[in-house]
Amino acid sequence: MTPLPGAAVEAIRAAGRRMDARGWVPATAGNISLRLADGRVAITRSGFHKGFIPEDGVMAVDLDGRPEDAALRPSAETGLHCGVFRRFPEVRAVLHGHSVPATTLSRLAGDGLTLAGYELLKAFPGLPTHEAAVRLPVLDNDQDIARLQARVEHAWGAGAAAIPGYLIRGHGVYVWGADMPGALLRLEALEFMLACELELRRLRP
């Protein structure tokens, strides 16, 4: 087995610390991955707090989610990360968090959640101004990850490139980017807008 690049492991650990500092990965929630130059995927192992990922808390899988080392257990949702990488060849990083706004709003939404008029929409591709809107698919949670990924593919449809992420009901959010800084930027922008949406709902009479 080829060792994981140290820089990739540290990028994942640093992302975990940043997400933890913002309250997006409580307990052992969330997962983080990077597509490596050799085509493998480096992803967080199951059971670790993402704010305190040890050096051996990251492992390698192939694009179908099969572990390189059968003795190690990746995140239960590895198939969702690999689904993003298979669909978008340009994507190198995928983030999954469980913030209060994402979890709460996903429980209140139907099959989608629209964000419109926010300055931070410019963090997403193809949206040069705040005068825009994006619709995030909201999917029912499912312990059958292959079945859930099939529903993700259906929700993406032909316009997948315009969708910056998706929500799993009562669970959390998935976002991705061309590299780890890009994915973190999108997650931070999205979490800000979700927090605003939650506050607006609280303030409306």
Could you list the residues known to form a binding site for Zn(2+), using ranges: 96, 98
Q: Running DSSP on this structure, what letter comes out for residue 137?
A: E
Residues annotated in the binding site, as ranges? Answer: 96, 98
Number of other CB atoms surrounding residue 136 within 10 Å: 25
List residues bridging with 30 in a β-sheet. none
H or E element that contains 43:
strand 41-44
Q: How far apart are CA 205 and CA 196, in angstroms?
A: 16
Q: How far apart are CA 32 and CA 94, in angstroms?
A: 6
